[in-house]
Structure 1
């Protein structure tokens, strides 16, 4: 076929004229005997590729008469191409095939939600209809979260707009904020940790996380939140008002390969979120940028206090719902705090740490559940 080489650093810039290339773009899957699909992929169904068999060169090229998708990341001019053969979502029969495949997959797998990978290279408009259609089949999946890797919150907001807010997006800017605080707490203000992130601007469409499989040590996007800060980061994600926080398997169970232990109190915080957490948040912050303290109001109140300083911190909390109730420090269960008849009490935590307080009654229930989980 004919194609034009493009500048890998700016895919919108052609670096030559149309010329003959030999590309791997025809897929017939003969061993499938058309059992699942009789669709035959040809170069017409792709926008470009990065290997020319004629000269055995890895040149990024765009096929004759094609254009990169518009509603993708503007990284390197246009980030439609990521690897292999770039699927052209502007071709109706391609879209039809992906709908057929999606319906088959949704029904046979029984999934009730989707994690959509590397969507910065997929036209946002495709997902609007595709996810709506998938919700009609199988277990009627009604949740989708997309991985659009960027530290720019505005890029995420634009993708949400282009896709009609049909999914949540991982809050990558917040991840980088958490990582930076863990590496340089002296120049950080913990009170403003969410400011300007997706969780701040589009909270109902944000999926915040501390770390994941890509950010762990030795991975391509390594940006590991330091161990001392991990419990604090999860307290911020799980025990405040984040709508869809994600917990990394490696944080919950540990990463044996790297001799990384499970994050302290993480299992307890997950249980608290599921069983105790209310939706009323009262902050008890003062002018100390190294401390955060808040009360989660409900019939089962939860108090969290954290320090990113080299000094221990204390906060006075006052709310009638706490009156005459005794709270247990999950870090040190022997340490309890009892509020007076007005609901006033002093809560503290050690330096560079986080302390979660729950009532004595809830603590006993939690202990029973942890014993069950730990076998």
Structure 2
């Protein structure tokens, strides 16, 4: 009975695929290819971002990255997203456990001078090498919290419900968190601000009671306005920020000691740090961590000031926010509160990748709808697309499984289409360490996809929505990057489709740069070719004699082995 049901289901799937194929060549209108620009301005190289670390990357990474700049630039990487290289709460911290923003591995604090990633001198060398190869430096920026204060400090607080931070579960009482930061190794260098309880709105540990909880820091009773007395117009009740995401009742608090951006000293210090990172350290942009949890008004102002610092040096500043939510409207709401140039991660697209790749039955998915309700659909020019990150890799808090075969397809979608700014993951390029060690993804062919984007993914785009399980598209090239490419993929059986590349390419022979399909496709007199891919696979066809085809020798997996 079970085999009979499977047979019926397979026949029904085939019926659905047949009903949803694109029009045949006889009825389709050949898509127009844009003529050369009258000004013949050079087509700029496609941008490709690399998350240049994974959660378990070994220490000394600044020097390791400096040695890879040339190779990665040659293959098509144009920007490095670096980890938060500020001083963490211990020598092995990744930087998300931020202790001192101003210490980039320069001062002897927290039992080390260098950070896990390296010393300030090694960071400067990396930035210099990147700039010499026109590779931008994007700094991962943790502005939500600080951790591992230098001393305990008494303050008043209430415990709040973990599921609803607007619900106070205790009366105000004195607690004793590690919340005084005096930075003994750095002193007053760069910044003289010493942090006290007034600079925070919450914390998670009371040394006095030895208890972990979410504590909202409140005003001491003696500082509260007395009934009937005149109230200072500048007085503000200490509370969570209200201009944050509304999950958990109020999503201001995330972890550790939560920074209070209603405090003027805090705002001034963190804004000056952003200017310093641009003007003195030389970063080209910021990846803002955990933006749902930080005052949106402060974030908008911080971005404006940082961009002004870059403008004074005749530079543009790149800003992307990490708003981890599969609801695209939540992300759009945050983007609308920022300026028009801000980018955000397309988490809804990542969620769609996961659903498609892990579906047990292809009746449950439709590859043609992978962009539905995504940032690519709503803000294609400001969407950062990704397949994996340090947050979503196996074992992490938001582990998002992607079937191994599908990673190659997902990267092809990210890298070879017009929409979005693709972000390649270090662990997919070089493999990952730690308890879930893995080799490079895409059977080692990810560098070839990145290089394919650099060389061939240009010009107008024509989609071929062949079926629920197979799609394709053509990039028609530009006047000075004329070759273009053809992509066809399947999450089911082997697929083929007749696709138009243009009559000017008649007689050309096109082959798959990934080597997944051995067919040589000859373009007919009308400009069509019949392109194929194997089951659960993708093929990327380019003219066999196209300039740059010889460069694919540089994509050998042996060149992408982490030392």
TM-score category (smaller protein): over 0.9
Counting only pairs closer than 5 Å after superposition, residues 46-85 of structure 1 correspond to structure 2 as: 46-64=200-218, 65-85=237-257
For residues 226-261 of structure 1, the C-alpha deviation after alignment (integer angstroms, 9 at most, x for no partner) is: 111011001111111223110011112223662323
Instruction: Find the residue that maps to 1:50 and give its secondary structure.
Output: strand
Counting only pairs closer than 5 Å after superposition, residues 159-178 of structure 1 correspond to structure 2 as: 159-178=334-353
2:383 and 2:162 mapped to 1: Cα distance?
31
2:470 and 2:524 mapped to 1: Cα distance?
24
Specify whether residues 321 and 43 from structure 1 end up closer, same or farther in structure 2 by C-alpha distance, changes over 3 A only.
farther
Q: Does the 8 A contact of 1:284 with 1:316 survive in 2?
A: no
Aligned counterpart, 2:306: 134
Instruction: Find the residue that maps to 2:177 and give its secondary structure.
Output: coil
The offset of 1:33, in angstroms, is 2.8
Greater mean alpha carbon deviation, residues 132-141 or residues 315-324 = 132-141
Aligned counterpart, 1:241: 418
Greater mean alpha carbon deviation, residues 94-103 or residues 159-168 = 159-168
Instruction: Find the residue that maps to 1:77 and give its secondary structure.
Output: coil
1:174 and 1:333 mapped to 2: Cα distance?
27
Instruction: Find the residue that maps to 2:386 and give its secondary structure.
Output: coil
How large is the RMSD of aligned CA atoms in angstroms? 2.0
Counting only pairs closer than 5 Å after superposition, residues 262-341 of structure 1 correspond to structure 2 as: 262-264=441-443, 265-286=445-466, 288-298=467-477, 299-309=482-492, 311-318=493-500, 319-330=502-513, 331-332=515-516, 334-341=518-525
Q: Given the alignment of the two structures, is residue 253 of structure 1 paired with residue 430 of structure 2, yes or no?
A: yes
Q: Does the 8 A contact of 2:517 with 2:534 survive in 1?
A: no
1:141 and 1:84 mapped to 2: Cα distance?
33
Greater mean alpha carbon deviation, residues 253-262 or residues 38-47 = 253-262
Instruction: Find the residue that maps to 2:548 and give its secondary structure.
Output: helix
Instruction: Find the residue that maps to 2:473 and give its secondary structure.
Output: strand
Q: Does the 8 A contact of 1:268 with 1:366 survive in 2?
A: no
Instruction: Find the residue that maps to 2:320 and give its secondary structure.
Output: strand
The offset of 1:270, in angstroms, is 1.0
* Aligned residue pair count: 372
The counterpart of 1:352, out of the listed 536, 539, 544, is: 536
Q: Does the 8 A contact of 2:384 with 2:420 survive in 1?
A: yes
Q: Does the 8 A contact of 1:271 with 1:366 survive in 2?
A: no
Q: Does the 8 A contact of 1:111 with 1:141 survive in 2?
A: no
2:504 and 2:307 mapped to 1: Cα distance?
42
Specify whether residues 359 and 78 from structure 1 end up closer, same or farther in structure 2 by C-alpha distance, changes over 3 A only.
same
The offset of 1:334, in angstroms, is 4.6
Q: Which has the higher contact order (CA 8 A, sep 6+)?
A: 2
Aligned counterpart, 2:127: none
For residues 144-169 of structure 1, the C-alpha deviation after alignment (integer angstroms, 9 at most, x for no partner) is: 11111111111101111122345211
1:341 and 1:238 mapped to 2: Cα distance?
30
Unaligned runs of 5+ in 1: none
Aligned counterpart, 1:8: 162
1:368 and 1:4 mapped to 2: Cα distance?
62
Instruction: Find the residue that maps to 1:115 and give its secondary structure.
Output: strand
Counting only pairs closer than 5 Å after superposition, residues 112-151 of structure 1 correspond to structure 2 as: 112-137=284-309, 140=315, 142-151=317-326
Instruction: Find the residue that maps to 1:345 and give its secondary structure.
Output: strand
The offset of 1:45, in angstroms, is 1.3
Instruction: Find the residue that maps to 1:90 and give its secondary structure.
Output: coil
Q: Given the alignment of the two structures, is residue 203 of structure 1 paired with residue 383 of structure 2, yes or no?
A: no
Instruction: Find the residue that maps to 2:521 and give its secondary structure.
Output: strand
TM-score using structure 2 length: 0.63
Q: Does the 8 A contact of 2:448 with 2:552 survive in 1?
A: no
Aligned counterpart, 2:396: 219
The offset of 1:86, in angstroms, is 0.9
Q: Does the 8 A contact of 1:114 with 1:141 survive in 2?
A: no
The offset of 1:31, in angstroms, is 3.3
TM-score using structure 1 length: 0.93
Looking at CA atoms only, which structure, 1 or 2, has the larger radius of gyration? 2
Greater mean alpha carbon deviation, residues 209-218 or residues 125-134 = 125-134
Q: Does the 8 A contact of 2:516 with 2:533 survive in 1?
A: no
After the TM superposition, which segments of 4 or more aligned residues of structure 1 sit over 3 Å from their partners? Answer: 136-141, 371-375
The offset of 1:207, in angstroms, is 0.5
Specify whether residues 372 and 228 from structure 1 end up closer, same or farther in structure 2 by C-alpha distance, changes over 3 A only.
closer
Specify whether residues 177 and 321 from structure 1 end up closer, same or farther in structure 2 by C-alpha distance, changes over 3 A only.
farther
Q: Given the alignment of the two structures, is residue 342 of structure 1 paired with residue 526 of structure 2, yes or no?
A: yes
Greater mean alpha carbon deviation, residues 47-56 or residues 252-261 = 252-261
Q: Does the 8 A contact of 1:11 with 1:77 survive in 2?
A: yes
2:517 and 2:353 mapped to 1: Cα distance?
28
Q: Given the alignment of the two structures, is residue 17 of structure 1 paired with residue 17 of structure 2, yes or no?
A: no
Q: Does the 8 A contact of 1:303 with 1:358 survive in 2?
A: yes
For residues 120-173 of structure 1, the C-alpha deviation after alignment (integer angstroms, 9 at most, x for no partner) is: 211222222222222344664511111111111111011111223452111111
For residues 6-37 of structure 1, the C-alpha deviation after alignment (integer angstroms, 9 at most, x for no partner) is: 11110011113222222332222233231221
